[in-house]
Each structure stands twice: as C-alpha cells, then as structure tokens.
Amino acid sequence: MPTTDEILRLMLSQRGIKTETQEVVESDFPAIVTKIDSVIVFTSNRTRIHEKDVATVVDLTKQYGGTLGILVVPIPASEKVLQTVSAYSDVLQIFHVGQLTCDITKHRMVPAHRILKEDEVKKFLETFGINMDTITKSMIADHIALEADKPMLPQIAMKHKEYMPMPFIGTQDPVARWIGAKPGDVVEIIRKSEAAGATPYYRFCVASV
C-alpha cells in the first residue's frame, strides 16, 4: 500500500510540480516540514490543530519561499479550522491522512476534472456571455473595493462569488483539492452517460461554497 508521502508526491506530480527532490526545512512549528519545488508541506506532529496554526502555516510558507502550503494532519480538522483554511485557500490546502491513501481521480465513479488554462477561460467567458466589465461595474456600484492590479476572478472567488453567474465548486471539494484548483479557477468536469456520451460541465472555484 502506498505511503502518505508517495500519494502526496503523486498528486503534486499530476499538477506538473517537480517531485524528484525534496528539502527538509528546519522549523519551530510542530511538524515535519519539507519543501517540494515551490510547495511547502507541513506534516503535523499534533493530533489537533487550531485556527491560529493555520495563519502560522501561511506565514511560514511565504517565509520558506513557497507559493503553496499543504498541511497534513492525522485526523479530520474541525469545521472552524476548515473555514479558516478556506479564507487562505489561494495559498493553503489541508488534508488528513485518510484523504491521502489513494489517487481518488482513478475511481470509476469520479468524473474527469481539469483546470482550464488562461486562454480557455477567456474563450469560455466569451462563449457563455459572461462579461467581466459588467460584473466589475456592478461590484463597484455596490461599493465593493477592488484591487485594480490583481486579477478579477480570484477576488470574486474569495469573497464575492454571488457576482459570478455560474455554478460553483469549493476548494474543499475532494477532487478540486486534489487537482490544486484555487479560487478564481474554472474547472471543467466531463460526465459520461450512455445517452449523451461525454458532456462537459463547468464550475467556478470559490473559497467556500
């Protein structure tokens, strides 16, 4: 049976992350900390973690030069911790070891999920008549502060999902989390049936559903 580390590496490799080497990072945080490419993995030594630990992991991820932190815990985290993780879901993921026992995308009941590339997202928005300028104007009219130097879709996905006229998928969704979907991504899901064949569905990835 594959180890947690082997499954984790498999997951990361499927995202295009180089997993051949890893670096152990010295840290005062109660976890085994390793750097795999641009990902900082925190394998917790404690059974329970708290909301304050989440913010610490985010800070350490940036401090250690990572673009994504992955926190691995022995048992499922509390709802409060998961809510806190959702608030940082653009830079942090959490798994308990029971979620890293196999490649869930290989299960026959799990449809194929894929994150659309930037040019595909642009084409998708045009095809389905989703006008980002109109959405932006609507948000400004509602006195929502936007950062002009940052992409719009992640800003909408983190706190203002109601402005996006399409179905959602949360960052805590098992498959979305496996493929590394972040707030603002558009996820293509291919469902197969005998009647319709392979049909694509699209979901807007948000911090919390």
* pTM of this prediction exceeds 0.75: yes
Question: Identity (one letter) of the amino acid at 160?
Answer: H
Residues 115 and 194 both lie in one domain: yes
Residues 110 and 97 both lie in one domain: no
Residues 118 and 186 both lie in one domain: yes
Residues 38 and 115 both lie in one domain: no
Residues 13 and 91 both lie in one domain: yes
Instruction: Indicate whether 93 pLDDT > 90.
Output: yes
Instruction: Indicate whether 196 pLDDT > 80.
Output: no
Query: Domain of 179: which CATH number?
Result: 3.90.940.20
Answer for the pair 88, 67: CB distance below 8 angstroms, yes or no: no
**Once rounded to an integer, what is the mean pLDDT over residues 161-180?**
97
Answer for the pair 88, 207: CB distance below 8 angstroms, yes or no: no
pLDDT at residue 20 in the model? 93
Query: Domain of 53: which CATH number?
Result: 3.40.1340.10
**Once rounded to an integer, what is the mean pLDDT over residues 127-144?**
97
Reference 73, options 56, 60, 54; nearest CA is 54
Task: Look at 193 and 84; give whichever has higher pLDDT.
Answer: 84
Domain edge (last residue) among 68, 102, 136? 102
Residues 95 and 140 both lie in one domain: no
Q: Which residue's structure tokens are 């293509």?
A: 188
Q: How many domains does one find in the chain?
A: 2
Answer for the pair 91, 85: CB distance below 8 angstroms, yes or no: no
Answer for the pair 160, 79: CB distance below 8 angstroms, yes or no: no
First to last CA, the chain: 33
Instruction: Identify the domain containing residue 36 by its residue range.
Output: 4-102
Residues 111 and 97 both lie in one domain: no
Q: How far apart are CA 192 and CA 200, in angstroms?
A: 9
Residues 114 and 188 both lie in one domain: yes
Domain edge (last residue) among 70, 102, 134? 102
